[in-house]
């Protein structure tokens, strides 16, 4: 008994903020989504906000669009990150220090990456201006519409740019502990570069890839900064929709904003559980080296 109390006390700097800030926040969000503890007295039933959302096709459009942007960008970031990390790891020692450049985007805030994409790729941005100057396009209107294509390409570019060095970092950590002799043996036995990568290296990197994917995917699914600069009006990202409901509409609509947040939170939790279950099942069939 006293043992647990002692440990709880010792852990309290960690547990207290978690309980008060995180659990408190989630609790309040859930309450307000049911119309309890809202700034204005809520009229109507507890589930009104959810009923309204679930009956609205635009909500689902937003939800699946956010999901798509998050999945594509996380996948791209993990794939590019892994390939780049593998190539950097293969570089001669002298070049390894120089390759630290890849860490630079890590310290750039998301919002700056969003502006970089905007400045380069908007219809009157740097790329369009250069193309116009070179005579590739006649007027600025001829520039292909990357940022406003309806496919969220701008956001996907930004998230990929930001996520790639992050997955590189995770993959590099594993690669540096990798036993090179396995690769040397495989080469001596005549395995091709591709074969080595897919059968020897990749399975070892799997934990980093899964972690990287989950973190990047869930972050981009709910994040606000990049969509605020780059998202289009339709289909809108969920985070922008929540922001508008929370800050710019009548207070009576607070439960709706909170209900979206609750749905996003539940989705994130379910996603992590389902993902790790699937990965476990897949990996239990794989022979461990």
Partner 1 sequence: MLKKHIALIAFWILFMLPGPAAAKNTEDSLLQIPFQQIAEQARNHQVRWYMFGGWAHVNAWVDTYVAGEMKKRYDIDLVRVPMDAGIFINKLLNEKAAGKKTGNIDLLWINGENFKNAKEAGLLFGPFAQQLPNIRKYVDPESMAHDFGYPVEGYEAPYGRAQFVFEYDTAAVSAPPQTITGLNEWIRANPGSFTYPQPPDFTGSAFIRQLFYAVTGGHEQYLSGWDPDLFARKAPLLWNWLNAIEPFLWQKGQTYPKDSAFLDTLFSRGEVAFGMSYHPSHAQNKILEGSYPKSVRTFVMKDGSIYNTHFTAIPFNAPNKAGAMVLADFLISMDAQLSKYHPDKWGDFPALDLKRLNPKERKQFQSVDLGPATLGSDTLNPVAVPEIPSDYLEALEQGWKEHVLDN
Taking only Cα atoms into account, the Rg of the chain, rounded to an integer number of angstroms, comes to: 24
Nearest-approach distance from CB 205 to partner 1, in angstroms = 38
CB of 38 to partner 1, least distance (A): 9
Q: Is the CB of 39 or the CB of 135 nearer to partner 1?
A: 39
Q: Which CA distances in Å does 129 have to 116, 154, 188, 232, 236?
A: 15, 18, 52, 22, 28
- Tell the smallest beta-carbon distance from residue 65 to partner 1 (Å): 12
Q: For residues 121 and 217, which CB has a smaller minimum distance to partner 1 in the complex? A: 121
Cβ nearer to partner 1, comparing 228 with 267: 228
Residue placing its CB nearer to partner 1 in the complex, 13 or 250: 250
Least Å from the CB of residue 285 to partner 1: 45
Nearer CB in complex with partner 1: 205/257: 257
* Residue 179 φ/ψ region, left for φ over 0, alpha for ψ in the -120 to 50 degree band, beta for the rest: beta
Which of 151, 48, 275 minimizes the C-alpha distance to 38? 48
Question: Could you tell me the smallest distance in angstroms from the CB atom of residue 9 to partner 1?
Answer: 23
For the chain, the helix, strand and coil percentages under 3-state DSSP, each to the nearest 5? 80, 0, 20
If the CB atoms of residues 12 and 244 are measured against partner 1, the closer one turns out to be 244
Number of Cβ within 10 Å of residue 185's Cβ equals 13
Q: Which residues bind partner 1 (CB under 8 A)?
A: 37, 39-40, 57-58, 61, 123-124, 140-141, 145, 148-150, 228, 232-234, 236, 244, 246-251
What number of other Cβ atoms are within 10 A of residue 75's Cβ?
A: 16
* Separation of alpha carbons 79 and 208, rounded Å: 12
Tokens of 261: 């947040």
For the record, the structure tokens of 125 come out as 């941005």
- DSSP 3-state assignment of 171? helix
Smallest separation, CB 83 to partner 1 (Å): 33
């Amino acid at each position: 008994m006293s043992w647990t109390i002692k440990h709880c006390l010792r852990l309290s700097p960690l547990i207290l903020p978690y309980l008060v800030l995180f659990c408190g926040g989630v609790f309040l969000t859930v309450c307000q989504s049911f119309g309890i503890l809202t700034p204005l007295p809520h009229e109507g039933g507890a589930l009104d906000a959810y009923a309204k959302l679930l009956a609205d096709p635009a909500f689902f459009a937003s939800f699946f669009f956010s999901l798509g942007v998050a999945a594509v960008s996380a996948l791209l970031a993990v794939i590019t990150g892994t390939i780049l990390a593998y190539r950097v790891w293969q570089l001669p020692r002298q070049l390894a220090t120089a390759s630290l450049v890849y860490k630079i985007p890590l310290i750039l805030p998301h919002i700056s990456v969003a502006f970089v994409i905007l400045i380069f790729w908007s219809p009157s941005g740097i790329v369009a201006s250069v193309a116009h100057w070179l005579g590739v396009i006649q007027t600025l209107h001829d520039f292909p519409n990357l940022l406003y294509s309806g496919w969220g390409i701008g956001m996907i570019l930004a998230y990929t740019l930001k996520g790639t060095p992050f997955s590189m970092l995770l993959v590099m950590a594993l690669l540096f502990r990798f036993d090179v002799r396995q690769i040397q043996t495989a080469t001596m036995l005549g395995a091709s570069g591709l074969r080595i990568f897919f059968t020897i290296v990749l399975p070892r990197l799997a934990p980093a890839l899964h972690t990287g994917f989950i973190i990047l995917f869930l972050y981009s699914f709910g994040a606000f900064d990049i969509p605020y600069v780059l998202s289009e009006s339709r289909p809108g990202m969920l985070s922008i929709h929540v922001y508008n409901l929370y800050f710019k509409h009548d207070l009576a609509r607070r439960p709706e904003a909170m209900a979206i947040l609750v749905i996003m939170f539940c989705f994130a939790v379910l996603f992590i559980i389902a993902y790790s279950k699937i990965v476990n099942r897949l990996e239990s069939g794989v022979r461990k080296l």
